[in-house]
Amino acid sequence: MGLYLRYIRLLLKSQLQYRASFAMTVLTQFLTPFAAFFGIYLLFERFGSIEGWTVYEVFLCFAIIGASFSTSTCIARGFDVFPNMIKNAGFDRFLVRPRGTIIQVLGSGFDIKRIGHLIQAIIVLIIAISGVKISWNIIKIFTLVNMIIGGACIFSGVYMLQAALAFWTVEGLEIANILTNGVREYASYPLDIFPKWITRFFTFIIPFSLVNYLPLKALLGHYSEHLIFYMLLPLVGILFIFPCILAWNFGVKHYCSTGS
Amino acid sequence: MKPYISALRVRYLNGLQYRAAALGGLTTQLFWGLMRIFLYNAFYKSGGQPPTMNFPELVSYIWLQQAFLAIIMLYDWDYELFDMITSGNISYELCRPCNLYGFWYVKLLSKRLASATLRFSPIILISLLLPTPYRLTLPHNIMSLLLFLVTMLLGSLLLVAISMLIYISVFKTMSPVGSMAFFGILGEFFSGMLIPIPLMPEWLQRICYIMPFRWTSDLPFRIYSGNISVSQGLMSIGVQILWIFVLVSMGLAMMKRITKRIVIQGG
């Protein structure tokens, strides 16, 4: 942990060296999801609702996914860009150091600029919470926080899987883009507006609905029974990270360097 | 003229080499198109039919966006050009016996055309074969198809003219991050990539119409689906040509002024 904090301190220092560029990127990180947010607002202005969901409920969904996504791209950025490291054989350096590979990859890519996106998500979260009718109590707040953490874990897990696959494919996989950027974009809406097979895929394969859609319905009072069950689902989402760690370790064992 | 045409050819053939990347992009684009249609389908089912665009028109709009993404997205930057400016390699480009603006314009255009060539036909083909609500419908008559092709071509010329201004601005700012981000978001929104322009409120549509971005993609796609009539479409060709003329002459003038007192970076 101490090592990880030191990594972060170094990266922070280097990223803050170029102030103007830093500020510009943070602003972009803020504005891009803001445009998406504005788009959702405009669509609701035209259509009123989507399959019975109101605009504030969708904002809540959007904000939670946004917060998860930005947190994971901030922390697990190293795994996102990892295929490059395979290509230029930079990973060899990690292997000769007497430390775990995961912590080194995490430490290689902590990206503080994503804070712009996180701030945007928090602002939308506040707007959404002020607009939806939820009687908040400690369990619901706990669920909400877990949803964000669980989502961040799944996104990070997908990044890890993609990085692990790169041990075989060398090239980064564009398909993984669907599971990260695609989810960020479309899981901003409640999953039941999509066909059943999509909902099933995101429940049982890549369990985004466990941290987003299902507990969200519980928060909004759509279920009359098993409330606690739905509210505890995000914890299962957090567990998703463990098989991904296994896959990563499996990949590392099979690593053949591309360098000379 | 000849050097530009051969530059176009060489770059175009070069761009056609990246087939694996195109295949990866293809899957992603099919997924995005499909998800987007599912999303709008849910919206259309919930509210009243918006008078401005019916569902088949919207579906065509989305599929055409995905098929021609390589041409119409402003944020597909060519980092090579930015690097040239900031690293000083621009000096090689300046030695060439042709106009820098023209040379870069052709370079950017050919790269986009090559990338689109690889992608558009499979996406069009697959989207034509999908089951009914999600299917790309054929244009109503041969005239709208022809007009679509003309406006699409002019649209790509216009888009490159817009992007050239951003590359030129880097001569002044020396960092592409700012203008890239700003114009990327602006262009995406006002060309109807984020949400189709007919679904925007009236006041926002009016803003879109006075900006150049929507003439690159929104116009041809709506002509294709019949959302914009042929007679209206014919008039918009004039607007497109006017925009191309204005932006290209602006770019030429800016480039001329800047290359007169250029500072070569690096050593």
Complex ipTM: 0.86
**Average confidence (pLDDT) over B43-49:** 78
pLDDT over 80 (residue B32): yes
pLDDT over 60 (residue B48): yes
pLDDT category, B203, cuts 50, 70, 90?
Answer: very high
pLDDT category, B178, cuts 50, 70, 90?
Answer: confident
| Residues 5-64, chain B, touching A (beta carbon < 8 A) | 20-21, 24-25, 27-28, 31-32, 35, 38-39, 42-47, 50
**pLDDT at position B16, please?**
77
pLDDT over 80 (residue B208): yes
Q: For chain A, give the mean pLDDT.
A: 86
CA distance A138 to chain B (A): 34
* Gap between the Cα atoms of A75 and A152, Å rounded: 9
- Chain B residues whose beta carbon lies within 8 Å of the beta carbon of residue A175: 24, 27-28
A156, A82 Cβ separation under 8 angstroms: no
**pLDDT at position B1, please?**
75
| Residues 125-184, chain B, touching A (beta carbon < 8 A) | 175, 177-178, 181
**pLDDT at position A130, please?**
92
pLDDT over 70 (residue B267): no
**pLDDT at position B86, please?**
77
pLDDT over 70 (residue A259): no
Does the distance separating the beta carbons of A178 and B200 come in below 8 Å? no
Between A182 and B220, where is the model more confident? B220
- For chain A, the three-class secondary structure string (H helix, E strand, C coil) is CHHHHHHHHHHHHHHCCCHHHHHHHHHHHHHHHHHHHHHHHHHHHHHCCECCECHHHHHHHHHHHHHHHHHHHHHCHHHHCHHHHHHCCCHHHHHCCCCCHHHHHHHHCCCHHHHHHHHHHHHHHHHHHHHCCCCCCHHHHHHHHHHHHHHHHHHHHHHHHHHHHHHHHCCCCCCHHHHHHHHHHHCCCCHHHCCHHHHHHHHHHCCHHHHCHHHHHHHCCCCCCCHHHHHHHHHHHHHCHHHHHHHHHHHHHCCCCCCC
